[in-house]
Copies of this chain bind each other. A is one copy, B any other.
Amino acid sequence: MTEPELKRSRKAGLPPGTAVHIGERRAEAMVITRYSYGAQSFDEHPQVTVDQCAFPVGLERTTWVSIQGLHQVDELQRLATGYGLHPLVVEDIVNTHQRPKVEDYGDYLFIVLKALYPEGDNYEELVAEQVSLVLGKNFVLSFQEGPQDAFVHVRERLRNGKGRLRSSGSDYLAYTLIDAVVDHYFPILERVGEDIEQLEDRLVADPGPDTLPTLHRLKRAMIVLRRSVWPVRELVAHLERGESSLVKQSTLVYLRDVYDHTIQVIEATETLRDMLAGMLDIYLSSLSNRLNETMKVLAIIATLFIPLTFLAGVYGMNFKYMPELSWPWGYPAVLGIMAVVAGCMLWFFRRKKWL
């Protein structure tokens, strides 16, 4: 896997603000859903077109336009023009290699996040999908790369009308969406943590040659996680400082809560990294231990039999005058000597704690 942010060269040389979709071209069509709600009412318009998402008037209702799929750049640009977005914002939405950030354009805030999904069921390979949010006075636009939806629970809560969501404005919706993305990190951390523990158990019980690549893959998953989460911390801290008039005072305490969650994710990530670093030490010393083990077996066998073989060799010599050869007790005597030598050796090994 080449790191995604390296793959930008397709775009080099174009003027800034040129929106070119960079990212894996997911085949599905762009899906736009429009939600429009107030304290009393709630409308959901699935599968609308760009023309049905005109700039909302009136502050009493909040509009959420959820866009999934980013490759129809022309459509996106029409939408953006309707909402008065800066060309650089559209460029950043479709070029999905941004790092999480928040940018204040006065009339609206532009927020970039990374939602993490496992590659299929494999939590050692994490896919980071870009989630872009545009928070205006009475609307939120959300842009997701593919069909995987980090906002399932938010849509549900909007429909149910439980909690503060419907009665609060667009800033609370934006908070809810950010929270949904951050909350998504916890099960991933949990699963990666379990993988790490399993690996640790295997490392102690039976370290094979495949443990190191697994270790490495987990390390890299940690890097992806870390890179997705660290900037979110700054982002939320920025929002929480309450510098933008778009974020109401009452929402700040919720942002502090997201901030706490982000810190928790970061600490857990650092802990897992520490554990992975420690496991490399264990692996290397286990390699060393096994070499020691092998060498001991070899040393014991060789040290035991080499002197005996020498003795046998001596009495295999063909000299004419070797008085021992004709002694009747010569053979048993030599066997006896051999047994004594072997005994001494075994005693020596035991003293060395090799046996």
Contact = CB atoms under 8 A, between A and B. Distances in A.
Interface of A: 1-3, 5-9, 12-18, 86, 88, 91-92, 97-99, 101, 103, 105, 152-153, 156-157, 162-165, 176, 179, 183-184, 186-187, 189-190, 193-194, 197, 204, 206, 209, 212-213, 216, 219-220, 223, 227, 253-254, 256-257, 260, 263-264, 267-268, 271-272, 274-275, 278, 280-285, 287-299, 301-303, 305-310, 312-322, 324-328, 330-331, 334-335, 352-354
B197 A2 contact: yes
Given A12-B183, A15-B157, A3 B268 contact: yes
A354 B339 CA distance: 27
Nearest to A280: B281
The DSSP consensus for interface residues of chain A is helix
Contacts of A303: 297-298, 301-302
B12 A163 contact: no
Given A2-B197, A15-B163, 11 more contacts: A9-B187, A15-B157, A16-B257, A227-B271, A293-B352, A306-B309, A313-B313, A319-B324, A321-B327, A321-B328, A322-B331
Nearest to A295: B294
B253 A101 contact: no
